[in-house]
A = this chain, B = another copy of it.
Amino acid sequence: MGDPSEPARSAPQPIQPQLGAALNTDLYELTMAAGYFEAGKAENRATFELFVRRLPWNRNFVVAAGLAQAVDYLLNLKFTEAEIAYLKTLPQFEHNHSEFFDMLAGMRFTGDLFAAREGTPLFAGEPFLTVRAPLIEAQLIETYLLATIGFQSTIATKAARVVRAALGRDVVEFGTRRAHSPEAGVLAARAAYIGGCTGTSNAETGFRYGVPVFGTAGHSWVMSFPGELAAFERLQQLLGESTVYLIDTYDTLEGARRAASLGRPLWGVRLDSGNLGELAMAVRRILDEAGLRDSKIMVTGDLNEYKIQELMAARAPIDVFGVGTELATSADAPSLGVVYKLVELEDAGGRRYPVKLSHDKQTLPGAKQIFRAADHDVLARASECIACGEAGACEALQRPVMIAGQLVESLPTIAETRRYAAECLGRLPATCLSLFAAEHAWRVDISPELAALNESVSKGTAV
């Protein structure tokens, strides 16, 4: 992209605790915590894993995202006095739990966090993150972690699909207005950048995370002037080389002619309605005939990866796609079935591997590691050291992020994360990157040691 796509000189902000984050959890996490406390289980060390059982609709991978916000949350976890006073009013806590609440008031996250880097493509059953902490701490954080990782991974995945469909053209995220709350808009824009978008229209995302921001003018700009030409002239004076005229307020081709008549400086024009492919061709001709061959065409308006694929297949002369609603809500697959499951528990009696047998919801026991080779993964026990295949080269994807409540090292910058995601995606086979579900797109083996643990745990389960 030209001028409007210059990355904002970013000023990433210091980590900030989110208002009310500790209490932003399901009440049952708190009633269970009280129960664990009173059953003397507070100090039992639990290991939970966050993963998806199945990939979403039309997806052959999921791009992990949201870890930075999960870490912010864990570093700042603290219940306020007002929050604890509120909890004491609830009928679920009507029996005396004063020792539990005293504990809760002093509680911080003191556990370990292992995770795949943000930007890593993951597959069904592979842990996005693993928490090893005192049972109460590990339990209380379930809801927030699921919402944080699940949402941003959903959007990073959608963005990766949209960007792939655009075949090298820039994709800018424009969806805050249709996101699930303004804050979701900020985070969707962050995740979309990780997934490969060039930037976003959301200024807060630029400010907070250093993501490049774009945008010039909308329909109300044009309509606030008595005529379209006057609106365009003013915009050109205002923005110079960054000028992008929105040309569909009255008549797109007429708008294109007015834009062309003003000549340079001009970055390009934006189309927001009608048959975008046909209009782009006609507008391209108008601009070319006016000698504006280097000016660009951006299109917006209910786009998604499927429509972009169609436009590219038709060789529409489009330089930049602005994608809003469908990207910021992942409209064709608006949620990710993330779960957070207890896989190990150490108490006075030693280490146990709890296992759930309910219909269609089995979970492999024990803490795990993901080993990635060139053409497949191996899901293994965390304690294993695996050499995948003959070449033996494979990477362990789960890395320590926090130990005993402290960050092990700085997290990567968002630009590094975006680059890492692009590299990882670039190594996946085309079947995997298809916009449509493909069977056996990526092989995930279970290591013999993990399989053996699963078998012994399944047999030995006495309930």
Contact = CB atoms under 8 A, between A and B. Distances in A.
Interface stretch (A117-125, A206-214, A392-400, A405-413): A206-214
Nearest to A234: B39
B21 A19 contact: no
B202 A26 contact: yes
Nearest to A178: B335
Contact of A92 (B83, B147, B215): B215
Interface string A312-331: 00000000000001000111
A29 B340 CA distance: 40
A177 B206 CA distance: 26
A180 B328 CA distance: 9
Interface residues of A, number: 128
A359 interface: yes
Given A28-B201, A86-B207, A207-B83, A21 B359 contact: no
Contact of A361 (B24, B176, B273, B463): B273
A183 B235 CA distance: 37
Contacts of A220: 32, 46, 48, 139, 142, 341-342, 354
Interface in A310-365: 325, 329-331, 334-338, 340-342, 345, 349, 352, 354-361
A221 interface: yes
B355 A223 contact: yes
A280 interface: no
A201 B27 contact: yes
A283 interface: no
A355 B35 CA distance: 62
A134 interface: no
Contact of A217 (B9, B25, B35, B83): B35
A77 B163 CA distance: 35
Contact of A273 (B16, B201, B358): B358
B223 A356 contact: yes
Contact of A151 (B23, B179, B240): B179
Interface in A177-224: 177-188, 201-204, 206-208, 213-221, 223-224
A214 B86 CA distance: 14
Nearest to A35: B238
A34 interface: yes
Interface in A377-436: none
Contact of A242 (B6, B44, B92, B228): B92
Interface in A4-20: 4, 6, 8-9, 11, 13, 16, 18-20
13 contacts: A8-B86, A28-B217, A32-B217, A35-B221, A35-B235, A92-B242, A143-B177, A147-B177, A147-B178, A147-B180, A219-B358, A223-B354, A249-B358
Top 9 closest pairs, chain A to chain B, by CB: A28-B215, A223-B354, A180-B180, A27-B215, A146-B177, A334-B334, A26-B201, A24-B204, A183-B183
Given A26-B202, A147-B185, A151-B179, 11 more contacts: A18-B183, A20-B186, A28-B216, A35-B217, A35-B235, A146-B177, A148-B181, A150-B178, A223-B355, A250-B463, A331-B334
Interface of A: 3-4, 6, 8-9, 11, 13, 16, 18-21, 23-32, 34-36, 38-39, 41, 44, 46, 48, 82-83, 86-87, 89-92, 95, 135, 139, 142-144, 146-148, 150-152, 154, 174, 176-188, 201-204, 206-208, 213-221, 223-224, 226-228, 234-235, 238-240, 242, 248-252, 254, 272-274, 325, 329-331, 334-338, 340-342, 345, 349, 352, 354-361, 461-463
